[in-house]
Amino acid sequence: MDLPPAIQCEGITKRYPHFQLRNVDLSFEQGAVMGLVGPNGAGKSTILRMVMGLLGPDAGSVKVLGYSMPEEQIAAKRDIGFIAEDMRLYESETIAFHMDFIKSIFDTWDDGYADTLLRRFDLNKKQKVKGLSHGQRVKATLLLALARRPNLLVFDEPTTGLDPAVRREVLDEMMNALEDETRSILFSSHNTLDVEQISDYITFIYGGRVIESRNKEDFIDGWRRLRLTNMDEKPLPNLPNIKEVQRSGRLCTVTVNDYEESFPRLFPAAGLVVNAIEPLTLEEIFLVAVKSAKANASMELAQ
């Protein structure tokens, strides 16, 4: 069985007056989850809109489940469920109205699954949209996207603004959707915990560029924090993978990327003692990576 990749973006570029998406490559196989992380305005939503065919790139190519976007978007959209923050529902209509509406468009709609989701989400389908809380609205849009069983789910910030209990429900249902071995998810989030928990691949975006894109285990495993004692105030070895240095008297903390087992040995050779080597959470990596990307960007400007 040779399935086309869930997503395959090559060299996509898009110019706006105040923002540019530059040479973005993204790709992952079906059956997997990719999380996009990056600060506000990094370009995550622009990428998701291109994947959906809502925007065409100035250069490069976008393929989704083997379909070229935006040219084949009509065929592709049968297989894609999209949820964005600014998704509009009809305020004066009920959840049931929306369910019937989607069902009339997509013959893949699964009544049984829709009922299960109503129960799990604690939603009353007779309720009108205007009376729903933010959490209920998100769950209703998720239900509408899931119950037609698309092959690919594309979610822009699905957990933003949700309380911990609803956030959990949404994440649980995203994971449950993977029961189908070829179903894939591409989502963006500011919540690094969510991305760390459910993603198989992590793509880090900054300033319209992909800083890093790889499988989550390698991504997280590539980073370490080393706690050092510098008794004789020796200079640190000058290494390109040191992304952050914090000094306090004789104590020094270094955060590194592209970590290898042999790395700590470089410090005793330079007269420093390694006291501890710690893994980082995605949140900690995010903060260091943004800082370091910012520094690189301002260096480029200065040149």
Partner 1 sequence: MESGFVFSQTDKNPMYQQIMEQIKQRIAVGDWPPNTPLPSVREMAIEIKVSVITVKRAYLELGREGVIVTQQGKGSWVNDTLDLKMLQRDELIQHLVQAGKLAKFLAIPEEKMLQMLKQYME
Q: What x/- string results for residues 262 through 291 when contact with partner 1 is judged by CB under 8 A? A: -----------x-x--xx------------
Answer for which of 199, 230, 255, 257 binds partner 1 (CB under 8 A) is 199
Stretch that binds partner 1, among 13-21, 99-107, 158-166, 176-184 (CB under 8 A): 176-184
Does 86 contact partner 1 by CB under 8 A?
A: no
Answer for which of 73, 127, 215, 253 binds partner 1 (CB under 8 A) is 215
Q: Which is nearer to partner 1, 89 or 272 (CB)?
A: 272
Does 181 contact partner 1 by CB under 8 A?
A: yes
Answer for which of 171, 210, 290, 293 binds partner 1 (CB under 8 A) is 171
Cis (ω within 30 of 0) for the bond into 235?
Answer: no
Please answer whether residues 5 and 28 qualify as being in contact, where contact means their C-beta atoms are separated by less than 8 angstroms.
Answer: yes
In whole angstroms, how close is the CB of 2 to partner 1 at the nearest point? 18
DSSP string, 228-275: EE-TT-PPPP--TTEEEEEEETTEEEEEESS--TTGGGHHHHTT-EEE
Answer for which of 2, 86, 107, 179 binds partner 1 (CB under 8 A) is 179
Question: Which residues, in sequence order, are CB contacts of 287 under 8 Å at separation 6+?
Answer: none
Q: Which is nearer to partner 1, 122 or 278 (CB)?
A: 278
Measured between alpha carbons, how far is 4 from 13 in angstroms, rounded to an integer?
22
Measured between alpha carbons, how far is 281 from 255 in angstroms, rounded to an integer?
12
Question: Which residues, in sequence order, are CB contacts of 201 under 8 Å at separation 6+?
Answer: 28, 32, 33, 34, 35, 213, 214, 215, 216
Q: What x/- string results for residues 105 through 134 when contact with partner 1 is judged by CB under 8 A? A: ------------------------------
Q: Which helix (H) or strand (E) holds 73?
A: helix 73-77
Measured between alpha carbons, how far is 243 from 258 in angstroms, rounded to an integer?
10
The two beta strands, 209-215 and 67-69, are: unpaired
Residues 228 to 267 in contact with partner 1, rule: CB under 8 A: none
Q: Residue 38: CA atoms inside 13 Å, Cβ hemisphere, count?
A: 27
Backbone angles phi, psi at 107, to 5 degrees: -75, -5
Q: Which is nearer to partner 1, 168 or 291 (CB)?
A: 168
Answer for which of 85, 91, 100, 217 binds partner 1 (CB under 8 A) is 217
Q: Which is nearer to partner 1, 214 or 294 (CB)?
A: 214
Give the binding site for partner 1 (CB under 8 A): 31-33, 171-172, 175-176, 178-179, 181, 196-201, 215-217, 220-221, 273, 275, 278-279
